Structure 1
Amino acid sequence: MIAPSQICCVIEPVDMRRGLDSLSQWIQTSLGTTPCDGTAYAFSNRPKTRLKLLIWDGTGVWCCQRRLHRGSFVWPGNDDRCWMMTQAQWDWLIKGVDWQRLSAPAPAHWQV
């Protein structure tokens, strides 16, 4: 599998029974793009314990799934349909680490 140019986390949870064709159709109708544009599209279930990734490798689309046995994925939360992540943020997300805290600024004033 090739490294994607971008990683798009779809904010709205999806039914994990949906397959490659159904998720590809969602990308086309909801985002107005194609799953073959070099972007990896990540989907999660409601409890954020599973995710699916659609990615184009140049000749076809991969549909991969990951499940956490404990805990849940820290999913971006905003009002947009999708959120673009950096590769570093993605690497932490798939490990179940709170990637949002990794780039949090240090407190400006510290008092005892």
Structure 2
Amino acid sequence: MISLRSGLRVLIASRPVDFRKGMNSLAALVSTTLGANPYSGDIYIFRSKRSDRLKIVVWDGSGMVLLTKILEDRHFTWPPVGDGAVHLSASEMALLLDGLDWTKVDQKPVKRPTKIA
């Protein structure tokens, strides 16, 4: 099960990947291309050349999970193609998975208390 824990990182690989790649090949891309640990429990999202498909790789604590989603009547909103990764919040990821434009979300900073009452 994929849990949305505190401190969860969600990364989108900016460059499209060959969608014939499976779980092990995508986990290797996490290490080599993104410079991250595929067994960290963070969520890694990969895009295809077609804008209606994505794959997610995540370690859930007991095994590697591969999730594929293809939108039927629209396309995902992707960041510009480039090297590296784009970080998303859990709410932005939820919008992305629903096929909505996550780039329109205005993240407001959370005010932290300065003193403990």
Q: TM-score interval w.r.t. the shorter chain?
A: 0.7 to 0.9
Residue type at the aligned position of 1:3: S
Alignment of 1:8-47 (within 5 A): 8-47=11-50
SS of match in other structure, 1:31: coil
Superposed CA deviations along residues 16-46 of structure 1, whole A, max 9, x for unmatched, are: 1100111111111112222101210000111
Alignment of 1:88-107 (within 5 A): 88-103=91-106
The one of 73, 76, 90 aligned to 1:73: 76
Question: How many residues align structurally?
Answer: 104
Output the TM-score relative to the length of structure 1: 0.84
- Given the superposition, is the C-alpha separation of residues 78 and 46 from structure 1 closer, same or farther in structure 2, using an over 3 Å criterion? closer
- Residues in 1 aligned to 2:103 and 2:35: alpha-carbon distance in whole angstroms: 28
Structure 2 residue 100 is the aligned partner of structure 1 residue 82:
no
